[in-house]
Every structure is written in structure tokens, then in C-alpha cells.
Amino acid sequence: MRADEYIEHDATSLAALVRKGEVTAAELVERAITQIETHNPRVNAVIRRMSEEARAAVAQGLPEGPLRGVPFLLKDLGADVAGLPSTMGSRYFADHVPTVDSEIVRRHRAAGLVLLGKTNTPEVGLMGVTEPELHGPTRNPYDGDRTPGGSSGGSAAAVAARMVPAAHGGDGGGSIRIPAAACGLVGLKPSRGRTPSGPDPSGRWAGYVVQHALTRSVRDCALLLDVTSAPEVGSPSHVPAPARPFREEVGRDPGRLRIAFTTEPLLQGQLHPEHRAAIEQTAARLAALGHDVEPARPQLEREALADAYVSTVAASVYGDLAYAERLRGRRLRPGDVELPTWVMREIGRTLGAGRLMELHNLQNATTAELGRFHERYDLLLTATTAGPPARIGALLPTPLERAGLQLLRRLPLRSLLRQALVAARKQLEAYPSTQVFNITGQPAISLPVHRTPEGLPVGVQLSARFGDEATLLRVAAQLEAELRWEQVRPRFLESS
């Protein structure tokens, strides 16, 4: 298969070609390996290749799953492969080698996917940009001076650059949706508990993190959800079973829905005019499709909720790193991790149980408010990000901010948290509407509906009731049929 043929197909289409015998899994693997070798130097998306492992898997015979023979990449966080390092973007974990596959990886293999490598991620998934000190920055295929977002930025860049048709991602505050918006992809964060997170015992940020994928098409998003979503033994979350396979929702009439939209961020900051326009245009398009669309937004305690999110993540980072210390038998030293990670760990270490329960209650109240809101509206339309993808380095701490962070360890807790929130403000203002749905556990999807005059992708976000991925997929497919976003690709692919 030639490169110009390969990049025209999504995962569903490639799997169909393999089933019909028009191409072999071995041929797809070799084409994907060549794509990675050709385009990865431009974007630095794949930080560990598994070419020989992929060839061996094909030679041994792949399972007869619905995605048999399709090349796939795994984020280097939340998707362990037995016997291969799982660095999580961190020097501390650079030599960490899991002994078992993550459950979601087992399900990927059972579906017939061929695993070709691991993709870049910020250290322990903390940042909304993919610029770890360990592996260096990943660059956006639409503009190499800009970020692909994070924390699944490596996966998003690889899919946008047409190395593979889809790749694994995880989302604890927008980490699938943000890079999907930055790279012109479909990015669904499923409902809490819909996909597996085991055997990791941490719960990944108090249940905020959900695993899924970055895709170019809605049908790939749905099919990957079908092959990975099923009850997981020991899961603390229960999500309603779907009425039918998710792939059957694509193309199904969603009926006349009540859809709210807002051009204001859910937490803080302001929207870029192009992103505001994307919401307004999408709202008008949804109305033209027959839905009842009106401006409305849930009532949220914005500043308190931002505080609660950062504090809860900090407590989770402390707990995860403490667990890692016990497993590895070595105490964490400041130089083992990046400065923002160390500061978040210190905040988490000093938070009291009473404060954590206060934050927990606020988050429960937020979940209830969104539940009441979705009694009135089937979907909520917002921005995914506040503006275009940031320049490389723009959302990292400046030298002055780094100097301030160095001092934080000697400050009392309230001052520590206040200063850390100031440092985190750049991230929250860039991505002001995604974290809410990690807090509530609802499904939310980013769709690439718009482009700036410079050709940069712009995504909008739709959220639904807990457990209602079906409605999101139906409406996403409606918009996809209208906008045909899969035909858009980075300029360097057009000229190659």
C-alpha cells in the first residue's frame, strides 16, 4: 500500500481491507513503520518504537477481532506493555518496566490492533502541553512551532500526521479533548468507569482519568469504544450498559434534541474570537439540523472549582508518587521529577483530610448541578480550548515563575496553594472548559469543526448526561457528515 493510499483510510476502513484480503496486516505494519520513520522526526510523537514486536505479533497470528491488522500507538502513560519501559514522561520512571499489560492494552490486542510504539506525554500527565524534559517537546503537525496539546499530545500528533489512523489516550482534565482540538481530531472522554484503568490501583486522580483514543473519524471513535468498554473486575465506578454497540449509533437519527450553548468558559479566562465563532457557527448548524438550540450554562462556583480541581490532582499526585516509592524501594528526590510535579506533590502532601472532604463535597455539588442542568438539556456545547494551540514553551513556567516555585516549599500551605494556582492559571485559562466533566464523570467529546485563517484546527466540545455516549456519537456523526473534517490534513502531507 502506497503512502497516499494509506492516509486516505481510517481504522474501520483498513480493517475492512484486511478482512477482504485486499491488503495484509504485514503490509499495513510496514507502511505504518515507514510513516513513523518519515514523519516522526518532524513532530517527535513516538518516543519508543515497537517495530519488531509488531512484526512478531503479525507473524504469530492476530486475533480475529474487528480491528484486525490495524496499526495503533499507545500513550506512554496508562497503557503498560509487559516487558517494555513505561516512563510516564518522567526521569523517575525512565527504568520502570511493568510485568503485565494494562487491561485496556489486553483489549486492544484482542481486537486485533497491532501495537507499534509508545507516544510522548508530559510528566505523569500533569500539563496541557507535551513538553517533558525526558523526551523533549512534541510539535503540532499543523504548525511545528506550536504544541499539539496534552497530555495525549504524542498520540494526537501521530494520528494527525497520518502515522497511524488512531492511537490510545487518557483524559484527566481534557487530555484527550485538548490535543484532539489542537490537531483536528475527534476526541471522546467516556463516562467514568466506561473503559478500564486496571491493574493500576491508584484510581488515577480520584477517578478523573478515563482511557480511550484519538481518532480521525467518529466511527473509529465508536468502534474503539466497543472493543474496550466492558465491566472491569474491581472497578469502583458503575456506568449503564449501552443499548446497542456504539458503532451502531453512528448514522442513527438522534431525534430532536435540546442543546444549550455558551460562548463563555466554564471555569475562567476568555475565548479567542475564532473559538467563539466556532461555537456560534456550530450552534447555528445544529439548529439547522432540527435541534432546539439556545444559550444557557450551568451555574458553577468557578474559582472554588478551579481550586478544588488543582488541589485534588495535587493530592492524587502525592498519593501516586508515594505508592511508586514503596514499589521501587527508593525515596523520591527533588531532581527526580520536574519542578511543577514536585510542587504539586508538596501541595498534596500537606493537604489535610478535612480540606479534602471540603473539596469532595464541592465536587459532589457540581455533579448534582450538572445533573439538574441535563434534565433540561440533552447536550451542552462549549469551547474545547480558549484559543489556538500555544507556542512551544509558552505554557511552561517562565524563569521568574520557576524561581518562585523553588520558594514554595518553604511557604505555609495557604500561600503554597495560592502561588501554585497562579502558576497553573496559564493552563486553566488556555483550557477552561474541559476539567468540569472529569470532576462530574460525564462523557464529553471534542470535534474539529473549524479552522483559523492560518489553517489551525479549532474544536468545540459537547457534553451529555452520565452514561450517554450514544447521543454524543449520533450528533457528532451528523456534524461530521456536514463538515467532512477527515479530508483536512497538515500541509506537509498535501505536498508529499
Q: Which residues are catalytic?
A: 75, 151, 175
CB 423 within 8 A of CB 406: no
Cβ neighbours around 151 below 10 Å, total: 34
What is the spatial distance between Cα 356 and Cα 351, in angstroms, rounded to a whole number? Answer: 7
> In the 8-state DSSP scheme, what is residue 241?
P
Cβ neighbours around 297 below 10 Å, total: 16
Q: H helices of 203-338, where? A: 218-228, 273-288, 302-328
Beta bridge partners of 445: 188, 462
What is the spatial distance between Cα 208 and Cα 219, in angstroms, rounded to a whole number? Answer: 25
Q: Is the dihedral of CA 182, 187, 193, 197 positive or negative?
A: negative
Contacts for 19 with CB less than 8 Å, ≥ 6 apart:
68
C-alpha cell at 188: 471522546
What is the spatial distance between Cα 364 and Cα 441, in angstroms, rounded to a whole number? Answer: 11
What is the spatial distance between Cα 217 and Cα 180, in angstroms, rounded to a whole number? Answer: 11
**Which residue carries 522526526 as its cell?**
41
Q: Residue 238 CA to chain centroid, in angstroms?
A: 21
CB 215 within 8 A of CB 166: yes
Contacts for 222 with CB less than 8 Å, ≥ 6 apart:
245, 246, 247, 249, 250, 473
